[in-house]
């Protein structure tokens, strides 16, 4: 099978890296790429030449505005992997676009039009699939689930001494989805506990707001690292004794399993994250992850429980790594994509 990656992408985003590496590891798959930044950079003849050589076109994450253009100039089936809904993000997560406004409609159409145009629509979780179906009226049979996964060759367990104090770590964008404010509230409840410190990696939309909250609480038990490049993440995560996921009180938070959860698991780390239907699709509470309500109190109590139970921390990490190797490494995720394409093309999707 020859797969053409086409759209606006760098190949540096986590989803792209996993699929590209996984597909290149397959003996019977040839991967070719056509990147373009804007419509005016789209060379129709070049694209059509590559399309004719291919069996299927894959539009990477965030390529919403180019799906219809690509579909127009190919006779091959098109797979779109949006990963996000602009409508959900702008209107309901960030809440910087009013519902029932012209801008809300524009964001709705940013999703709806490419979702309708593609032959195969990918969702990273069943919950996201349900959302696409309910919100945009996309037929369920058109949507397939492809988990995000992790590169288990890059993200892998390391042998580290246990820190004193223990490091409770988080990485990610400081955006509503992440619920960093609840981590700060947990840190405030634990500020007199000298057996742990918090290490938060990242930046973003709510960074200044979070810094102000830390200042208001006068917290000395939090260290901020700023943004860290993808290739340096494994080293940073390796120093965490307990890893924190997402705790956002937004609709999107219950639909997704973020990159960090897969990365922590691949590195064999004990994970605490917000309970949601999405995370339970892959992970099992008390076996390979710890699930809590998204409140500072619940997070702080679970952190304390794990601090006082090193055996459980170890077992959670071992089980998480085993799950990563069996269910969502880069080769498995790539094979899942191939299976989806094979099944749908045999069904006559295009």
How confident is the prediction along the chain (350 residues), in pLDDT tens digits per residue? 999 999 998 888 999 999 999 999 999 999 999 999 899 999 999 999 999 999 999 999 999 999 999 999 999 999 999 999 999 999 998 888 899 999 999 999 999 999 999 999 999 999 999 999 999 999 999 999 999 999 999 999 998 777 789 999 999 999 989 999 999 999 999 999 999 999 999 999 899 999 999 999 999 999 999 899 999 999 999 999 999 999 999 999 999 999 999 999 999 999 999 999 999 999 999 999 999 999 999 999 999 999 999 999 999 999 999 999 999 999 999 999 999 999 988 876 44
In this prediction, residue 316 carries a pLDDT of: 98
pLDDT value of position 159? 83
**CATH 3.40.50.2000 at 2-149+329-346, yes or no:** yes
The predicted pLDDT at position 349 comes to 45
How many residues comprise the chain? 350
Residue 343 has what pLDDT?
93
Distances (CA, A) of 324 to 172, 202, 278, 312: 20, 24, 16, 18
pLDDT of res. 348: 65
Domain boundaries defined on the chain: 2-149+329-346, 166-327
Residues 177 and 252 sit within 8 Å (Cβ to Cβ): yes
pTM here is: 0.95
Name the CATH superfamily for 166-327: Glycogen Phosphorylase B; (3.40.50.2000)
Peptide bond into 284 cis (omega under 30): no
Return contacts of 234-238, CB within 8 angstroms, 24+ apart: 234/154, 234/155, 234/156, 234/158, 234/263, 234/267, 236/169, 236/171, 236/201, 237/155, 237/169, 237/171, 237/263, 237/264, 237/267, 237/269, 238/158, 238/160, 238/267
Fold: same for 2-149+329-346 and 166-327: yes
Number of CB atoms found within 10 A of residue 108's CB = 19
Q: What is the pLDDT of residues 320-330, one digit of tens each?
A: 999 999 999 99
Exposed, middle or buried by CB within 10 Å (0-12, 13-18, 19+), for 40?
A: exposed
Q: Note the pLDDT of residue 126.
A: 98
CB 59 within 8 A of CB 110: no
Q: pLDDT, tens digit, for every residue of 113-145? A: 999 999 999 999 999 999 999 999 999 999 999
279 phi and psi angles, rounded to 5 deg: -65, -30
pLDDT of residue 76: 96
């Amino acid at each position: 099978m020859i797969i053409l990656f086409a759209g606006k992408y760098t190949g540096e985003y986590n989803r792209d890296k996993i699929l590209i590496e996984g597909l290149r590891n397959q003996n019977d798959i040839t991967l070719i790429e056509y990147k373009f930044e804007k419509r005016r950079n789209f060379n129709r003849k070049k694209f059509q030449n590559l399309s004719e050589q291919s069996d299927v076109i894959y539009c990477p994450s965030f390529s919403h505005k180019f799906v219809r253009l690509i579909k127009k100039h190919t006779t091959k089936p098109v797979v779109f992997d949006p990963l996000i809904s602009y409508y959900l993000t702008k209107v309901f997560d960030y809440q910087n676009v009013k519902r029932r406004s012209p801008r809300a409609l524009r964001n709705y159409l940013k999703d709806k039009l490419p979702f309708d145009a593609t032959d195969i629509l990918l969702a990273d979780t069943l919950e996201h699939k349900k959302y696409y179906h309910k919100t945009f009226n996309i037929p369920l049979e058109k949507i397939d689930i492809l988990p995000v996964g992790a590169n288990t060759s890059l993200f892998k367990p390391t042998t580290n001494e246990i820190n004193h104090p223990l490091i409770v770590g988080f990485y990610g964008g400081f955006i509503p989805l992440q619920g960093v404010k609840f981590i700060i509230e947990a840190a405030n409840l634990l500020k007199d506990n000298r057996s742990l410190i918090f290490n938060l990696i990242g930046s973003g939309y709510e960074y200044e707001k979070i810094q102000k909250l830390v200042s208001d609480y006068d917290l000395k038990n939090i260290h901020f690292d700023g943004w860290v490049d993808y290739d340096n993440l494994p080293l940073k995560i390796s120093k965490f004794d307990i890893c924190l996921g997402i705790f956002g009180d937004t609709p999107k938070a219950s639909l997704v399993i973020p990159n960090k959860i897969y990365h922590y698991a691949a590195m064999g780390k004990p994970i605490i994250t917000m309970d949601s239907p999405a995370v339970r699709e892959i992970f099992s509470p008390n076996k390979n992850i710890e699930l809590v309500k998204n409140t500072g109190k619940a997070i702080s109590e679970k952190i304390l429980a794990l601090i006082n139970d090193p055996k459980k921390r170890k077992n959670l990490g071992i089980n998480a790594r085993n799950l990563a190797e069996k269910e969502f490494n880069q080769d498995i995720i790539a094979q899942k994509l191939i299976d989806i394409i094979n099944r749908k093309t045999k069904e006559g999707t295009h």
